[in-house]
Amino acid sequence: MSRGTSYLLVSLPTSIASSNEHDEALTALRSAVSTDHGTTVPFSIPEFKIGTLDALVQQADELAKLENGCVGVVGKVGDSLKAILEGDENKLAEQKTVNDKPVDQYLRTFSWNKVKYRADKPLGEIIDMLQKEITSIDNDVRSKYNQYNTAKTSLATLQRKQTGNLSTKSLTSTVPPNLLIQDSDYLETHLLAIPNPLVKDFLKSYESIAPMVVPRSAQKISSDDEFTLYAVTSFKKHGPEFIHKSRERKWVPRDFKVKEGGAEEERREVERVAKEERKLWGETLRLGRTGWSDAVMAWVHVLALRVFVETVLRYGLPLNFVCGLIRTTPKLTKKARASLDASYAHLGGNAFGTDKKGRPAKDDADVQAATGGSEGGEYSPYVCYEFEVV
């Protein structure tokens, strides 16, 4: 995927050429933008069934919203891929292909998918198909990515239990079963992870923080860099109070039940979840790669439809136009558009005139009228859509 690349998708009437022929009009378009500012290739758009003027105006609005949706889905799927690949930009670039081609190659050799989106269908049906497809891509990738995240979180939790400190890790392999009182009607054993700086205070005070704590029952079981694990015996009647008072002193009570074969069972569970997480990682990566490709293809088809509809609305019938894709950079986009404005300002009618030096100049009042007075609306005297695929 080419970084730092932007594109202009431009449509002009073939009348820009004196012969009114398509090839000569394409040559005129190519010559309008200096190769220092961009390179132009033909962009083929089929002719679609044209409905009423009111329908075209409505479809233009629908396509604008649909394109925004496509851009959003492409971005979200790209973010999912980036997360799956842990931000590795090189690996991410390898996954971001369109129909198994680099993005730039796909755009420069674009051909309308007549099998998937039959051009003989009404425009409204094609728009509906694209809307359903982009929604489906979004739902499928998001669902699979959520499955992967759930498995990843579960694995991290299990691994923390294996490798964390004594306040969080599993105690199955740490606590000897015979250390715990298990079958008494009156006594019970409490396991407490004591922060190392608080051990002295614990040993001095544990017997008196609640009634009926068995004197001198504290037994050290294990320790690490942060905590020391102790077992303390008390009467069951006052067990809840002992636990409550322990928490107040920042001693961490640990729940633990003796289970035969528990350590082996935990190991098998970690292996099972790790295998599931790895499987979902691969599935999410494959679906993300395919979803990103499909989302970009849908987006480009929507752009092609936007150009077609706007061309009909702008230039009218009979439909004689030439469409070109200009490959440039974000820094050079303004210069490329300025060159196009200079060559084709006359297509804008009253909205574009010339200044004292003969350069194209916009009439703000007419431009505002042409763009419907919308805030931030940028009017050009020809059909032009600017986009980047990142």
Q: Tens of pLDDT along 102-155?
A: 999 999 999 999 999 999 999 999 999 999 999 999 999 999 999 999 999 999
Name the most confidently modeled range: 68-72, 168-172, 265-269, 365-369: 68-72
> With 70 as the cut, is the pLDDT of residue 232 above it?
yes
Three-point CA angle 82, 86, 90, nearest 5°:
65
Q: How far apart are CA 7 and CA 329, in angstroms?
A: 8
Q: Are 385 and 12 in contact (CB under 8 A)?
A: no
Half-sphere exposure of 45 (CA within 13 A, CB side): 29
CA-derived radius of gyration, the chain: 34
> With 90 as the cut, is the pLDDT of residue 63 above it?
yes
Q: How far apart are CA 219 and CA 178, in angstroms?
A: 13
- Residue carrying the six token digits 């009926």: 212
Q: 317: how many CB neighbours lie within 10 A of its CB?
A: 7
Global pTM reads 0.80
